[in-house]
Structure 1
Amino acid sequence: MEDAIKAAVYGLYAYIKHSGVLIRQEKKEYQELLTKAVHLISLDPLVKQMCSEPLEYVPRNELQLLSRMRQLPEQIRSLHRDRLQQAETARLQSRSDRMEKGRQLIAQKYFDGAVQHLGRLSAEFADDAALQAQIGKMLFDINHIECITYFEKAVALDPQDHGSLAMMGVAFRKIRQFDNAERAYLAALERDQDNVNYLFNLSRVYIDAGKWTNAQETLRRVLDIDPTLGPARKALEFATRHCRDLM
């Protein structure tokens, strides 16, 4: 439609500029062409919506019509922008409403229904990294295996999402997949070096896996960063005792 409007504008401008040298028959033919072109444009639903009065070519009113026609392309683009904004607002509201329904299902202990509901939501917003991470967090307390799937989706969409990697580390530790937990935490630390929480939780993985030397090294690094962290000091003492018992 924008191309048709541009062509009509060009035709109007040319007619205004050169009508003085046209013979009567040429003027008549030109006016008939302009009438048809403007009529076709006026039938477009967007044009109808924007024009309070129908577009119509009237001889000797070319300048007024030209002014209106020149404004149409930007008005159409503005209308498209408004519609896209409205659609995006509705989309985000739908996402928010459906996330709330997922929370309600979990609160009501309809866990299978919550997993299915959130799975459909995830598929519909498959390119939304933040949403995938949110779903993972929502499912964390009810299904560690299921939540890992969503953290993996979040990281695939946003490789710098170290928070999801760390949550994956916790979930893997809970199901005693210690190698996967270690990889998740190390990947998180590549993106957020010297994060005390990640390091401390990594030390818990090593303790649960019986890797006492790794646990000691990690806990010493934690205490180098934050010497006041009491739980890390106690964990280091615990890991050190186990190392001595193995000697």
Structure 2
Amino acid sequence: MSTELIKARSALAGINTLLKQQKVLPAVLALHDALGLIIRTPLMKSERADFERSLENAVFRLNGDANLRKIYPILLQYTPGEEAALQGMLRELLNELQESAVQDAKKMLAEQERRKQEGFAKGRQLILEGQYDPAGQFFDKMLKYFHDDQELRVDIGELFLEAGQFDQAFTYLLESMRNNPESVHLLNRIGMGLRKLGKFEEAEQCFLQALKLSTDDERLYFNLGRVYVDRAQWDKAEQAASKAMALNPDLEQAKKMRDFAQRKRKG
């Protein structure tokens, strides 16, 4: 038996296991791929009879699967010798299953977003009530579930920042920066938050890291310049403002920063 037919036999043999594991899409895909191998490969009479029995069994298993019936109520039909017709039905079935998987994923994402917004609102209410430690404990539990959501970490940090809880704000902002050092958008947001906290060195590093990733963003140069203004580093402030203006000559705030830095440097 050829390597291709061995692959086909193995795929067919695994369909029942996949269905028991409620893996409907992989099970249908296994039958589709095995059928393709069988159609393309010349078969001896004994091999053909063996594969016809295996195909009949696979179709029977799929037709009896309750999970598949919910998605695709039409029964598969297979007659030995008409493998091409079965392959056409399987292609249609795969399209339905893939569309169903997409819709399920969208529903799951929508539910996750709903839970996140509800949790964020609850934590924000705790902060508004001055319950800062319980809010921090609540958000930490929340982040165990949304552990990859760095935007959420920044949002939480900004909540504490607005409430004047600078140490907690710094913790969330810095953690987000460490977890996602290659997101220009996040680095810019974090840098602005760190600057408000008076963490000028960390803010500078944020903006410099972002500029390594995006050298043509005038807002990054402008925000970096604000850090230098806060630190009274007038030469660097002027340079940053000038670079922002080179990218966007209409950025009036950058012009004001440059002129202010020049006056301070000369005076």
Q: Do the two structures share a fold, i.e. TM-score over 0.5?
A: yes
Q: 2:204 and 2:115 mapped to 1: Cα distance?
A: 34
Map of 1:89 onto structure 2? 110
Identity %: 16
Map of 1:3 onto structure 2? 30
Contact 1:136 1:147 in 2 (8 A): yes
Map of 1:102 onto structure 2? 123
Pick aligned residue for 1:152 from 166, 174, 178? 174
- Number of matched pairs: 214
Q: Deviations over 1:126-171 (max 9, x none)?
A: 2222222111111113321111122112222144313312322332
Map of 2:20 onto structure 1? none
Map of 1:177 onto structure 2? none
1:38 aligns to 2:59 (yes or no):
yes
Show the 5 A alignment for 1:1-247.
Answer: 1=27, 2-8=29-35, 32-55=53-76, 57=78, 65-142=86-163, 143-156=165-178, 157-159=180-182, 160=184, 161-171=187-197, 173=198, 181-185=200-204, 187-189=206-208, 191=211, 195-204=221-230, 206=231, 214-217=232-235, 226=254, 228=256, 232=260, 236=264
Q: 1:53 and 1:130 mapped to 2: Cα distance?
A: 44
State the SS of the aligned residue for 1:140.
helix
Shift of 1:57: 4.3
Structure with max Cα Rg: 1
Unaligned runs of at least 5 residues, structure 1: 174-179, 207-213, 241-247
**Does 183-192 or 92-101 show the bigger shift?**
183-192
Shift of 1:73: 2.3
Q: Deviations over 1:10-39 (max 9, x none)?
A: 66x69xx99xxx8xxx97x77654432211
Q: 2:109 and 2:97 mapped to 1: Cα distance?
A: 18
Judged with a 3 Å threshold, the aligned counterparts in structure 2 of structure 1 residues 10 and 45 are, in CA distance, closer, same or farther, namely farther
Judged with a 3 Å threshold, the aligned counterparts in structure 2 of structure 1 residues 51 and 183 are, in CA distance, closer, same or farther, namely closer
Judged with a 3 Å threshold, the aligned counterparts in structure 2 of structure 1 residues 220 and 10 are, in CA distance, closer, same or farther, namely closer
Q: 1:195 and 1:30 mapped to 2: Cα distance?
A: 67
Unaligned runs of at least 5 residues, structure 2: 1-26, 212-216, 246-253
Q: Deviations over 1:166-223 (max 9, x none)?
A: 322332x2xxxxxx5234225425626774454334333x3xxxxxxx5454566688
Contact 2:191 2:206 in 1 (8 A): yes
Shift of 1:82: 2.0
Contact 1:4 1:41 in 2 (8 A): no
Q: Given the two structures, how large is their TM-score scaled by the length of structure 2? A: 0.61
